[in-house]
Amino acid sequence: MFFRNALFIPRFSRGLASHSGPLAAIPATLHLKTGQSFIGRSFGAPKSIYGETVFSTSITSYTESMTDPSYRGQILVFTTPLIGNYGVPLNQAPIDSQDVGVVLESQRIQCAAVIVADVAEKFSHHTAVESLAAWCRRHDIPGITGVDTRAITRLLRDQGTTLGRIAVGDDVLAPPPQAEEYWDPSKENLVDQISTKEPYQLNSNGSIKIAVLDFGAKANILRSLVRRDAAVTVLPWNYDFNSIRDQFDGLFLTNGPGDPGHCMEAALKLRKTLAEWDRPVFGICMGHQIIGMAAGLDAYRMTFGNRGHNQPVLALASAGSITAGRVYVTSQNHQYALQLQDPFPHGWEPFFINCNDSSVEGIKSTIDSGKKVWGVQFHPESAGGPLDTIEMFTDFISECRSHKESISGRVSTTVAPTRPRVAVGAGA
Ligand SMILES: NC(=O)CC[C@H](N)C(=O)O
């Protein structure tokens, strides 16, 4: 395989000898804004798109990654060469009080496109109902196969996340776009596009009331709360939570796509919440970045971010199920991170640090601040990835429960149930 800087004449048959399956040989090209082009063949929707080209080192769970709303606007390159071999399940779970309605991470494919070295045309799994290619076609998402994903990944690692164009079919004959033609999703408020427009409830008879600010929630975050018997109220990302906060025992902030700088409004509202409200607050990924911004930390854009299910993080403090000095392997999908500054804002301390690049992986309120607030850059709920830190959800619900019991005068030592009444969906 090869990449090149100049205009080219596509050669569709080149390097495709291993693809002997029934996919039609529709040509497809990935153009990067930095001038390189990779020629392959289309699978999925026969349409051309723009996006931000990122790579993920995950080996499994392409279905969960592709439905994660945080990948919105991104062209997702899998470093694992063979993707698609277990097909795609029916994305519909029975709706009952213990479930959130989907098996995957949202109702549809969220990334703009996928790039796979060698797409599996044959698939086998007891839950599979269709192939990766058929699923992409149904959701109008293009894919390229037969390209050198190792070369693309090395470029993205060295030059950073790069704007890209996927040209499919006749569009491959057109010259690569001019620099100003590339669409940059980080300029848009993607959270506002994906967040729920209206509040809604899950498991309304649950024993502890949790408000969730939805920046583009993965379903497994909601499942992980519901499975711990939380009555969950999902609110739009910029909802005036302060006007209703006393109805709730805790606040959760979800993951979400794009630049957290677009969500400063939510960070300022949260700053007021943290100053005036003493109940537990937990945030994941975008939610963690919002907590950090509310605490006075800056968020910056990393070179290529961290995407994959094998990111080691070192705990710097003990809290709940987390032990200082231990390394946890985590699932991640982010481009931005909180700045590690010295000193940390008053009342806050670093919680986790990334073992590969020393980026901030978590923050928490200090004990003397009297508050229970945590944010983690990684995804304890995984889906996919390791469940090393899943008990952080139990820690959060337990804190909400003990706070509730202490203010109602019934100090209790009970721990929240971690098992669902019925088993649903993927993950823990
Ligand atoms: N998964 C997330 O919540 C990602 C947060 C933010 N969009 C980032 O890329 O850093």
CATH number of the structural domain spanning residue 112: 3.50.30.20
Ligand 1 centroid distance, CA of 162 (Å): 16
Range 43-64 burial, b when 16+ CB lie within 10 A, else e: bbbbbbbbbbbbbbebbebbbb
Query: Could you tell me if residue 299 is inside a domain?
Result: yes
The tally of domains found in the chain comes to: 2
Residues 274 and 348 in one domain: yes
pLDDT recorded at residue 1:
38
Ligand 1 centroid distance, CA of 305 (Å): 9
Protein residue closest via CA to atom 5 of ligand 1:
286
Residues 152 and 179 in one domain: yes
Query: Could you tell me if residue 417 is inside a domain?
Result: no
Tell me, using a 6 A CB cutoff, whether residue 378 lines ligand 1: no
pLDDT recorded at residue 407:
87
Tell me, using a 6 A CB cutoff, whether residue 218 lines ligand 1: no
Ligand 1 centroid distance, CA of 257 (Å): 5
CATH number of the domain where residue 214 is located: 3.40.50.880
Tell me, using a 6 A CB cutoff, whether residue 336 lines ligand 1: yes
Considering only residues 112 and 407, tell me which one the structure prediction assigns the higher pLDDT.
Answer: 112
Banded pLDDT at 128 (limits 50, 70, 90):
very high
8 A C-beta contact, residue 141 and residue 111: yes
Query: Could you tell me if residue 392 is inside a domain?
Result: yes
| Strands annotated E in 193-236 | 200-202, 208-214, 230-236
The pLDDT tens digits of the residues spanning 335-391 come to 999 999 999 999 999 999 999 999 999 999 999 998 999 999 999 999 999 999 999
Ligand 1 centroid distance, CA of 334 (Å): 4
Ligand 1 centroid distance, CA of 32 (Å): 22
Query: Could you tell me if residue 7 is inside a domain?
Result: no
Which of 187, 220, 242 is where one domain is finished?
Answer: 187
The pLDDT tens digits of the residues spanning 257-315 come to 999 999 999 999 999 999 999 999 999 999 999 999 999 999 999 999 999 999 999 99
8 A C-beta contact, residue 392 and residue 282: yes
Q: Read off the pLDDT of each residue in 193-221 and give the average, rounded to a whole number.
A: 97
pTM of the shown model: 0.91
Residues 370 and 393 in one domain: yes
Query: Could you tell me if residue 154 is inside a domain?
Result: yes
Which of 187, 221, 245 is where one domain is finished?
Answer: 187
Domain extent at residue 107? 27-187
The pLDDT tens digits of the residues spanning 35-65 come to 999 999 999 999 999 999 999 999 999 999 9
DSSP-derived secondary structure letter, 322: B
Residues involved in catalysis: 285, 379, 381
Residues 208 and 336 in one domain: yes
Q: Read off the pLDDT of each residue in 205-224 and give the average, rounded to a whole number.
A: 97
One-character DSSP codes across 30-70 = EEETTS-EEEEEEEE----EEEEEEEE--SS-HHHHHT-GG
Residues 58 and 171 in one domain: yes
Give, for ligand 1, the residue of 58, 184, 192, 285 to mutate: max count of ligand atoms closer than 8 Å to Cβ: 285
Tell me, using a 6 A CB cutoff, whether residue 70 lines ligand 1: yes
Query: Could you tell me if residue 338 is inside a domain?
Result: yes
Protein residue closest via CA to atom 8 of ligand 1:
334
Residues 303 and 160 in one domain: no
Residues 124 and 91 in one domain: yes
The pLDDT tens digits of the residues spanning 141-195 come to 999 999 999 999 999 999 999 999 999 999 999 999 999 999 999 999 999 999 9
Query: Could you tell me if residue 9 is inside a domain?
Result: no
pLDDT recorded at residue 410:
57
Residues 175 and 208 in one domain: no
Residues 174 and 296 in one domain: no
CA 280-236-105 angle, to 5 degrees, is 85
Q: Cα separation of 193 and 69, whole Å?
A: 10
Per DSSP, the chain holds a count of helices (H) and strands (E) of 8, 21
Which of 187, 208, 231 is where one domain is finished?
Answer: 187
Tell me, using a 6 A CB cutoff, whether residue 334 lines ligand 1: yes
Tell whether the model's pLDDT for residue 126 goes beyond 80: yes
One-character DSSP codes across 147-187 = S-HHHHHHHHHHH-SEEEEEEEGGGGGSPPPPGGGS--GGG
Tell whether the model's pLDDT for residue 86 goes beyond 70: yes
Q: Cα separation of 302 and 310, whole Å?
A: 18
Q: Is the dihedral of CA 168, 259, 270, 285 positive or negative?
A: positive
pLDDT recorded at residue 55:
98
Residues 217 and 285 in one domain: yes
DSSP-derived secondary structure letter, 117: S
Tell me, using a 6 A CB cutoff, whether residue 117 lines ligand 1: no
Ligand 1 centroid distance, CA of 413 (Å): 35
Tell me, using a 6 A CB cutoff, whether residue 362 lines ligand 1: no
Residues 55 and 83 in one domain: yes
Protein residue closest via CA to atom 3 of ligand 1:
255
Residues 34 and 61 in one domain: yes
329: left (phi over 0), alpha (psi -120 to 50) or beta: beta
Tell whether the model's pLDDT for residue 249 goes beyond 50: yes
Tell whether the model's pLDDT for residue 99 goes beyond 80: no
User: What is the interface pTM, i.e. ipTM, of the complex?
Assistant: 0.98
The pLDDT tens digits of the residues spanning 381-428 come to 999 999 999 999 999 999 999 999 998 875 444 444 443 333 333 333
Tell me, using a 6 A CB cutoff, whether residue 145 lines ligand 1: no
Query: Could you tell me if residue 17 is inside a domain?
Result: no
Range 282-316 burial, b when 16+ CB lie within 10 A, else e: bbbbbbbbbbbbbbebebeeeebbbbbbebebebb
Q: Cα separation of 392 and 261, whole Å?
A: 26
